[in-house]
């Protein structure tokens, strides 16, 4: 399983090397300075640096996260590739969603570490942000599998993030975004309810994934 994944990721990196280089530059040379400027801005205004930086992560880094994941995962969804992929690797693809999550979080690690050194007690916000990334991944997996399109999955998640980041800001079940909210005021149901939703999305996505495999078997028979 891991060997097949590494082979695929090597292919993805070669095919999209300039795109991933652009993401690297975007994160480390644009987003990171912007995040630091948010921290400095909070000091000038005497506002809460934790909240401002957490808002920045949700508004910008979460979007970058799901875009990177869509490029890493699209080969398991798109019809041009999945016939070959599923022939040589029957591993449930939600496993690779989790592996992608871990890899992307490692890419974000320099950003996390620098912010933690600048803001006291920010590690709790980082953990919540990582939770949001993981839940977003389950949503993306679910939509991509039921639509058989990584692009549709990406567009739906982008719309979802936009709505709950800029339009509908009130906390509710299904809304993982916490704009202008301190962790002390996060509703008690937040983690439990969204974990349950993520599990349901993963299970249903896996059912649709099995249907994709069955259809491929019929076509190849």
What is the three-state SS of 95-137?
A: HHHHHHHHHHHHHHHHHHHHHHHHCCCCHHHHHHHHHHHHHHH
pLDDT for 198 equals 96
pLDDT band, residue 148 (cuts 50/70/90): confident
Contacts of 76 (CB under 8 A, 6+ apart): 82, 85, 93, 96
CA distance linking residue 97 with residue 107, whole number of Å: 15
More confident site: 58 or 216: 58
Number of structural domains found in the chain = 1
- 96-140: pLDDT as tens digits: 888 889 889 988 998 999 899 988 889 999 999 999 999 999 999
For 38-53, what is each residue's pLDDT tens digit?
A: 788 766 666 788 888 9
Whole-angstrom Cα distance, residue 1 to residue 103?
Answer: 16
Q: What is the domain extent for residue 16?
A: 2-220
The model's pLDDT over 156-169, given as tens digits with 9 standing for 90+, comes to: 999 999 999 999 88
- Amino acid 142: pLDDT: 95
Q: Give the 3-state secondary structure of residue 43.
A: helix
Are 75 and 81 contacting, i.e. CB atoms less than 8 angstroms apart?
A: yes
Say if CB 172 and CB 108 are below 8 A apart.
Answer: no
Task: Indicate the pTM of the whole model.
Answer: 0.89
């Amino acid at each position: 399983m891991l060997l097949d994944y590494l082979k695929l990721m090597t292919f993805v990196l070669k095919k999209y090397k300039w795109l991933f280089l652009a993401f690297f530059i975007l994160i480390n040379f644009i987003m990171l300075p912007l995040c630091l400027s948010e921290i400095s801005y909070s000091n000038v205004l005497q506002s809460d640096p934790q909240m401002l930086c957490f808002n920045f992560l949700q508004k910008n880094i979460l979007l970058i996260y799901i875009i990177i994941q869509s490029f890493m995962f699209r080969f398991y969804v798109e019809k041009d590739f999945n016939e070959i992929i599923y022939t040589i690797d029957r591993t449930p693809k939600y496993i690779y969603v989790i592996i992608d999550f871990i890899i992307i979080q490692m890419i974000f690690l320099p950003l996390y570490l620098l912010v933690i050194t600048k803001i006291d007690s920010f590690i709790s916000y980082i953990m919540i942000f990582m939770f949001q990334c993981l839940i977003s991944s389950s949503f993306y997996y679910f939509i991509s599998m039921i639509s058989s399109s990584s692009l549709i999955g990406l567009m739906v998640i982008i719309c979802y993030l936009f709505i709950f980041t800029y339009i509908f800001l009130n906390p509710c079940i299904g809304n993982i975004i916490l704009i202008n909210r301190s962790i002390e005021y996060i509703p008690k149901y937040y983690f439990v309810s969204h974990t349950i939703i993520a599990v349901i999305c993963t299970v249903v996505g896996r059912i649709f994934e099995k249907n994709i495999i069955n259809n491929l078997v019929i076509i190849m028979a």
